[in-house]
Amino acid sequence: MREVCEINAVILSSRLSARVLARFMPNPLSAGHLHLSFISHPPPSSHIPLSLLRSSHFPLAVIGIAACSQTDAFPSIHTQFNMALSEVFPPDSMFPFAKTCFAFEDSNGATNLNLSETLPGLVVIPHLMSNKKLYIGTLLADLCSQILGEFGVVVRLEAR
């Protein structure tokens, strides 16, 4: 299954330096396309030694989707997402390069949208947000820039 999403804007990742990611960033609100492939399961563990030769066979990013009606449930969602990832990927695996859980707020709440410091990888999408398509496009562009930036990190580590 393949899907094409339009990239409308990007934000810089806090994990990688802005200089590293700047190479992969389009101008804000520029048009472009992103081709996503969805896999149903990770490759067998016997293929992990081949990961540098066939990185396209491994999940480069994981996106979690959650719905939440109470602000105090965000830490629980974050924990469940990380537990699910630890069950699928071995702890010493370099994959996935990027992981994000999108938590859609169900009701009108006073949500603290700045959870990135306390719950890294969890992004809250408020119920009252007017242009969710633009915001999700921005978040996907950020996820892709993290993936591309991580390829540079992997090359530097393997060159040692």
Q: DSSP assignment, residue 125?
A: E
- Whether residue 46 lies inside any domain: the answer is no
CA angle 57, 60, 31 (to 5 degrees): 115
- pLDDT means over runs of 10, the chain (160 residues): 36 47 59 71 77 80 88 87 87 85 79 68 86 84 85 72
State the total domains in the chain: 1
Query: Which pair of tokens denotes residue 4?
Result: 């094409």
Examine residue 13 and state whether it is found in any structural domain, yes or no: yes
pLDDT at residue 26, rounded to an integer? 56
Asked if the structure places residue 129 within a domain, the reply is yes
Q: Print the domain residue range for 140.
A: 2-40+55-159
- Enter the tokens of residue 126: 């408020």
What pLDDT is attached to residue 79?
A: 93
Element holding 82 (H helix, E strand): helix 74-88
Give residue 7's pLDDT.
33
Q: How far apart are CA 71 and CA 48, in angstroms?
A: 38
Residue 50, domain member (yes or no): no
pLDDT (tens digit per residue) in 36-46: 777 777 778 78
- Would you state the pLDDT for residue 55? 80
With respect to residue 8, please indicate whether it lies within any of the assigned structural domains. yes
Strand locations in 12-149 (E): 33-37, 61-68, 98-105, 122-125
Question: Which pLDDT score is estimated for 155?
Answer: 74
Q: What pLDDT, on the 0 to 100 scale, is given for residue 159?
A: 64
Domain assignment present for 20: yes
Q: What's the confidence (pLDDT) of residue 54? A: 79
